[in-house]
Amino acid sequence: MTDVRKIAHNTLIQVIGKALSIAIGLIGFGLMARYLGQEGFGYYSTIYAFLAIFGILIDLGLQMTTTQLISDPAEDESRILSNSLTIRLTASIIFLGVAPLIALFFPYPKIIKIGIAVAAVGFIFTSLVSTLTSLFQKHLVMYKVATADVVAKILFIVVLISAVSLDLGLMGIISAVVIDSFFTFAILFYFASQKVLIRPAFDLLVWRKIISRTWPIALTIGLNLIYFKGDIFIMSLIKSQTEVGLYGAPYKVLEVLININYLFLGLILPILTMVIAVKNLERLKIVIQSTFNFLIILTTPLIVGGYFLGRPLMVLMAGPDFVISGDIIKILLIATGAILTAGLFGYVIVALNKQKQMIKFYAANAIISIIGYLIFIPLYSYWGAAWMTVFTEVFILFTAAYVMKKNINFLPGLKIFWKSIAAALVMAIPLYLFPNLSFIISLTIGVVVYFIALYLLKGFDKETVLDIIKIKNHETPDNQL
């Protein structure tokens, strides 16, 4: 199999596997939310938001750094991977081991403190999975990661249904998540050990090399997680767990949408990297513009449609107890639109190897968001948290656009943006006039009306679709970046 066919095959399997994993995960979310209810899901959200703070300290950006190092022919693959895993395991045991002890000093109910201790075990396995993934990325066998993920998710659903049927409560739900993480790690470790020798390694020279490369990525990820998870963490300290649950449920949907987007952008990153490597500015502009158009065409109706369908969506996903979450998701979908678009600009910046230029903006955003959450959550609860989330994500969108323009002197045109807004407003008419239709019927009508309106407005045509699908086939003259 040629490299091109191998990449295409690898990508297809990865997409299918991730889609299945996300679908199964959504089913699991629905089961959890319905079983736990508002307060119980608040406990669940608090536990994982608390651990996410410690997850910042163990992420270290190791996956990307490990992939880069083991892809270097001059490096010893087994040596790098073994040391990277040892670094990750050491950091995980230290920081996640401390997390339950620190939780004892927080004003949480006993069940949350116990839940933090149990869930921390799953966090350790999850952190190791991300590092092991580097090996499969290098050898273009991501289907093995997809296989492990899907098999573990199916087992997760089986255990989750059993926990609900036996009424094992919150600890049963968390145990199902831990089992999911463990089996994902176990399957991947088995696959990896067939390829290379993996053992505990404390080679200080390798540790120094890995850490010196990874710290800018680690810092960026850490700052990003502070403002992304800070809202639920702060809310858990000053508001009721019912309020946390009502906010945490739509936030879970937001995370799913973000994962889907980064799956798509992950396919674009190699193209961006290749175009930048050959210094072809015109082709880079085409890739950015085509990808931007695609994201805008999808996110605009998501935001407008969410305004009308937010409540029925959350009732369908999480049950009637979460009808208020339907109003919260209307706000969070605005933040989602900003995140999806900023993701493109962020990937361009990474491909340009200019991510250090974003650190100051992530730091500023982390500080602003924490101050904002401390001011607005006590006053307005989840409404304050949701609108503050919108502000922080829009801030990153504009700063990422600024850094990208600074480096390549280009921003995508907004012609499709305005046409998408016009088409979305047309879509809003039947959604407004017929509010009592079922969610599925309303969604179908909205999608059909939107794309017909967009087509009539010349927002897309056959050539536009081909631009998106076959970005890498564009031939344009070289221009120095």
User: Which residue has better confidence, 223 or 92?
Assistant: 92
Mean pLDDT lowest among 15-19, 213-217, 331-335: 213-217
pLDDT band at 345 (very low <50, low <70, confident <90, very high): very high
Cβ atoms of 453 and 426 closer than 8 Å: yes
User: Which residue has better confidence, 469 or 80?
Assistant: 80
Q: Which amino acid is at 242?
A: T
Determine the average pLDDT of the residues in 204-215: 79
> Coil, helix or strand for 280?
strand
- Position 2 scores a pLDDT of 47
User: Which residue has better confidence, 352 or 225?
Assistant: 352
DSSP letter for 440, please: H
Q: Find the length of the chain.
A: 481
Q: What is the pLDDT of residues 409-448, one digit of tens each?
A: 999 999 999 999 999 999 999 999 999 999 999 999 999 9
pLDDT band at 465 (very low <50, low <70, confident <90, very high): low
Q: Is the pLDDT of residue 95 over 80?
A: yes
Largest Cα–Cα separation, the chain: 67
What tokens appear for 113 in the block?
């403190």
What is the C-alpha separation between 404 and 358, in angstroms, rounded?
A: 10
Which residues is 433 bridged to in the sheet? Answer: none
What is the C-alpha separation between 210 and 69, in angstroms, rounded?
A: 8
Determine the average pLDDT of the residues in 50-61: 78
Q: Is the pLDDT of residue 471 over 60?
A: no
What percentage of residues in the chain have a pLDDT greater than 70? Answer: 89
pLDDT band at 475 (very low <50, low <70, confident <90, very high): very low
Mean pLDDT lowest among 2-6, 120-124, 364-368: 2-6
What tokens appear for 194 in the block?
């067939």
- Position 59 scores a pLDDT of 66
- Position 221 scores a pLDDT of 72
Q: Which of 233, 240, 252, 250 is nearest to 325 (CA)?
A: 250
- Position 481 scores a pLDDT of 52
**C-alpha torsion sign, points 269, 275, 277, 281:** negative
**C-alpha torsion sign, points 158, 161, 164, 167:** negative
Mean pLDDT lowest among 83-92, 143-152, 212-221, 428-437: 212-221
Determine the average pLDDT of the residues in 449-457: 95
- Position 464 scores a pLDDT of 58
- Position 468 scores a pLDDT of 53
Q: Is the pLDDT of residue 480 over 70?
A: no
Mean pLDDT lowest among 97-101, 262-266, 318-322, 328-332: 262-266
- Position 476 scores a pLDDT of 42
Q: What is the pLDDT of residues 268-308, one digit of tens each?
A: 766 787 788 788 888 899 989 989 998 999 999 999 999 99
pTM equals 0.84
- Position 60 scores a pLDDT of 64
Number of Cβ atoms within 10 Å of the Cβ of 81: 26
pLDDT band at 3 (very low <50, low <70, confident <90, very high): very low
Q: Is the pLDDT of residue 68 over 90?
A: no
What is the C-alpha separation between 77 and 330, in angstroms, rounded?
A: 47
Q: Is the pLDDT of residue 467 over 60?
A: no
- Position 342 scores a pLDDT of 93
- Position 478 scores a pLDDT of 46
Q: Is the pLDDT of residue 263 over 60?
A: yes
Determine the average pLDDT of the residues in 145-162: 92
